[in-house]
Structure formats: C-alpha cells, structure tokens
Amino acid sequence: MIDVRLLRNDPEMVRALLARRHKPELLVQLQEAETLDARLRDITTERDTTRAKVNDLSKQVGALRRSGDNDAAEALMAQSRSLGDAEQALVAEFDQLTESLRDVLLRIPNTPHPDAVDGAGDHENPTITGPINMPASFPDYQRVPHWETATALGILDNERAVKISGAMFTMQRGAGATLARALCQLALDRNADAFEEIRPPSLVTTATLTATGQLPKFADDAYAIERDDLWCIPTAESSLTSIHAGEVLDEAMLPVRYMAHTSCYRREAGSAGRDTRGMLRTHEFDKVEILSVTTPEQAPEMLQELVRRVEGTIAVLGLPYRIIEICTGDLGQSHHRSFDIEVYVPGGDSWLEVSSISWFSDYQARRADIRFKRTGQKGTEIANTLNGSALAVPRVWAAICENYRQADGSVRIPTVLLPYMRGATHITPKA
C-alpha cells in the first residue's frame, strides 16, 4: 500500500510515478484518495473545534450552576448536547471515510522503481539474459507436447484427476510423481545454505492475503472458505510475508530469509480455456518459494541474489532459458521491480514463465505492518519485502518432458535430479 503521506505531500510525484504503469484509471483512483484524505483532515479540524467548544461550555455551565443561575446553565447544556451530537456525527463520518480511504489505497498499485523498464504491456518486456542452453535446432521427437509424452509413459493421469476433482486438476503417477518431488527437493537443497525452511499453513486469513496484495483485487482468482474466513494460498509468499506481520524487527536481524515448499491454489478465473491441457495451467500445483525481509538499502542486492539463485537452479537442469525484465505496464499490483525466468518448450514452440522474482519496496510491509528499528536510533521504519519462485513444478516438469524426450519416447532424467529419483535414469513406458 502506498504511503498516504506521500500522496498528501507530493501528489504530482505520485501521479507521475503511477503514470508509468500506462493505466489511466489509476489517476481516477488517486483523485478519489486525495478527496477522501482532504475530507478526513477537514473532519479532524471540525471535530477538534467542536470538542473544544463542548469543553468550554462545560466550564461555563459549571460556573453558572455554582452561581445559582440554573436557567442559563440549562440553556448552555442544550447547546453542549447539540454540539456533542454534531461531534459524534463527525466521528462516525471519520470512521466511515477512513475505511473508504483504506479500501481505495488497497486497490492502488505500487509505484515502479526508477530503473524499471518503461513499457505499455508484456509485448514490451525486454530480454536481458539469453537465450542460454538453446540448441541450434530440435529433433522431431522433441517436438511433442508434454502431455502426449507423459500420458504415453503413464506418468500423467489427468483423466482420473478430473474424475476426482474436476477440470484443470492434474495427477502425476509413478516416476512422474517422483520427478515432481525431486524438483522441489532440488530447489530446497540449493537454497538451504542461506534460507530457513518453513512449513507454513496453506489456509490463511483475509488479513494475511490482504497483506501481500492478493486481496481485494484478486479475490475472484482465489479459493475462499467463507464459513471460516479462510483462503487457500495462491503462493507460499502469502504465508511467509505475514510471519512478521505487526512486528518490529531489530536491524541486526535483517535480511531474514525464508523458503517453503507448498501446494498452491488458483481458480484461474481469467484463463478462458487457455493452456488447459497438460500441466501448464492448473488449479493446484507445487512450488518452492524464497522470500526475504530487508532494509531499503539491502533490497537491490537481495533482488539480484534471488535472480541469481533461481537462474542457477534452472541452469543446472540444462533447460533452455532466458531472463526478461517486466516493464512498468506489465508489473503486478504489488511489484516495484520484477524479472521473469522463462524456459523454452520445443513441443509447444513457446517460452513458459517458470519464475517471477520481485521487489515490493515497502508496499507489502506497510499493509502487513512489518517494521524495523535501526541500531542506536529512535523510531521505526517500514521494511522491504522480496520474493521469487525458486521452482514451480508444473512448467519445469513439462519442459523436462519435452527437452529431454528421447527418440524411443522415453524421457532422460537431468543429471542433477538423479540423486532424488530412486535410481532411475530414464522414464520409460510401464511394461
């Protein structure tokens, strides 16, 4: 959430920053926020003035009663009650408008970082690294969609997944299930040198999902358990960010680093039938998330570290990949600056996003009230948060099935995954 004080003190600067997102409707939201904030400040002045008049009248009433002039005292009491009613009305209006302002501010996205690439949409996202590990050409036997290969090998059984849970659910079997687990374990092991592993809840409160920016904007894409006011997490980011919600951290603790392997749940409400075959777009999938809470000064280097870590994991898998920077018009709601890592799949002749690494500045931490105290200084500051998908299973799994497909229809296991595959070096059809 943007700082209302920034909007109050320098609205033109906020307009200029958000104009880089190329969404004119944001300027309407900003104007609404400015109007609400101005009225709140007026109410505060009116309330304080009215309260002072009530206090003054109370003193006068006391003096009149002591002097025995009860009629005059009663007249002033009537004025005092009328002013008291007016004060209560102002308080009620203040509370209502405060809630309205918070709702507007929650919907206004983060401001882009000055170094973020300008652009109107995803078609203007520049490639900054790669392609890497990209062969000059692919044999025809690798130009097969992953779902055809995986179904033939008996490692993907979406037909029965649909029977169990409905459309857009998947089920891996045998070596396919082992491969999914191996990918998660690889990501955890590669980051265990610096990141504390967490096993967080997969059901979170409305406040938790609001803190990271999924609510209220993306409510339609989340699974709600209304009876208990709980939500299924769309990513472990939601749980990990709120570990320190409402806390003040010592500067010496920062940066804190967490990682988690969880299932993730998304309704994919806007998918409109896109990428519904195979593993590319599903309602439930596994992912390893890495997250850090930092000071503002630590954040830029942490962003680069997260990118390096995710890139390193994709690189050791031997998959063709590239890194793109997300331009200002394509940044997510909470994002200050973002990079995506994409892998190439020859069966689909396309690039698939497998990780998004993002810096949120103080946007999430302000919503979650995560602060830190500098050593030897008074007061507190809002922390910064960053996160990235260390590895998201479905698309990496699909990319392995296509890039490592052999001429006989089997899939060779990437060397780095062999320790996790119970001795298997290839996935072959069941006898």
pLDDT (tens digit per residue) in 138-183: 999 999 999 999 999 999 999 999 999 999 999 999 999 999 999 9
Among residues 75, 107, 139, the one where a domain terminates is 107
Mean pLDDT of 111-128: 97
Same domain, 182 and 225: yes
Burial of 85 (0-12, 13-18, 19+ CB in 10 A): exposed
Token readout for 236 is 């472990």
* Residue 71 domain-assigned (yes or no): yes
Among residues 107, 138, 163, the one where a domain terminates is 107
Confidence of residue 187 (pLDDT cuts 50, 70, 90): very high
Through-space distance between the first and last CA atoms of the chain, rounded to whole angstroms: 56
Q: Are 342 and 328 in contact (CB under 8 A)?
A: no
Same domain, 140 and 286: yes
Listed residue (362, 218, 184) closest to 289, CA to CA: 184
Same domain, 271 and 356: yes
* Residue 112 domain-assigned (yes or no): no
Mean pLDDT of 199-204: 97
Confidence of residue 277 (pLDDT cuts 50, 70, 90): confident
H helical segments located in 124-268: 146-153, 158-165, 175-191, 206-211, 236-241
Same domain, 74 and 34: yes
| pLDDT at position 46 | 96
| pLDDT at position 274 | 62
Token readout for 166 is 């409905």
- Domain count for the chain: 2
| pLDDT at position 273 | 58
Among residues 49, 76, 107, the one where a domain terminates is 107
Q: Other CB atoms closer than 10 Å to residue 431's CB: what's the count?
A: 3
Mean pLDDT of 283-299: 98
Same domain, 126 and 90: no
* Residue 380 domain-assigned (yes or no): yes
Confidence of residue 429 (pLDDT cuts 50, 70, 90): confident
The proportion of the chain whose per-residue pLDDT surpasses 70, expressed as a percent, equals: 98
* Residue 116 domain-assigned (yes or no): no
Does the pLDDT value for residue 343 go beyond 80? yes
Q: Which residue has the higher pLDDT, 352 or 1?
A: 352
* Residue 113 domain-assigned (yes or no): no
Residue 21, domain extent: 4-107
Same domain, 305 and 371: yes
Does the pLDDT value for residue 276 go beyond 80? no
User: Global pTM?
Assistant: 0.92
Listed residue (311, 329, 328) closest to 320, CA to CA: 311
Does the pLDDT value for residue 220 go beyond 70? yes
Token readout for 429 is 């059809």
**pLDDT per position as a tens digit, 16-75:** 999 999 999 999 999 999 999 999 999 999 999 999 999 999 899 888 888 988 888 888
Radius of gyration of the chain (CA): 28
Same domain, 324 and 418: yes
Q: What's the CATH code of the domain at 41?
A: 1.10.287.40
Hunting for tokens 């299924």 — which residue is that?
232
